[in-house]
Structure 1
């Protein structure tokens, strides 16, 4: 395709839910229930691990951060997904799509690093039980959690910037219910 023959996409159509009528309402209700269950469950984990002093251990501190990541991840995807189920025109702006993808990558990357930190915590508890208190002190646990959150930022910014500087050609229909990497890569020239 010639460089002068391309148009700039200002929005994307999300075609992940191509249902009609009662199916959309059914999916809206089911996804809403699962979304609320996810938010309530993870919020309970955060509250209980914060309030109960017995649970102020590295394992529960990392679990609390994992629950916060899951809350943020769900809040990034599900509200737009629910809105798309209710409206006839399933559109997301170019900027909103980039922001959503950036947040998804950020929280997924953070979750991966947190799972690595949790694996280290359990390995230290099982393999070095006598040294566990010095290996996983409050300061190290805090640094591992903060590091997990901060390491996601350059990954998310770098990948999103790279993807959205690529030229999008042809149709601007994302074959998914949110802006994800694989469906967006299919739209790249």
Structure 2
């Protein structure tokens, strides 16, 4: 009976991963890069950026930093603000997007217009608008000023603020799954 529960749990975890709303793009690592070779890290963000940013952006950055801190500590790294072995830099971009669909002859037939030489062409028609967010993360070796790892996570941004926070956490967790 226990084995059935273990199998069911494994299936649910795999299904949850497959249905994740976060899509990881362009994950690239330097040859031989491993977090296990490092002991400390810190964040690479300029204070001037945070001072001029809207409060909502600052809250999202703080949330992202807290999740990165949690993920880094889970693999054995600790934060060191004075002389870190690694720097973590990330940015967030939000874009307004339009969802479209392709017309076809069956669902969108031509209408008679009184002319004998009309033609019908397939085209893209808008069906909705949404916001898409991209979170990019870079891990840098500050001693060599060298990029060691980079990736981007893309997701649709929900309307509720608590869902936005959940999306940020899921994006960072997805990036860390690609990092190991």
If the TM-score is normalised by the length of the shorter chain, which range does it land in?
Answer: under 0.3
Based on CA coordinates, which of the two structures has the bigger radius of gyration?
2
With normalisation by structure 1, the TM-score equals: 0.21
More strand by share: 2
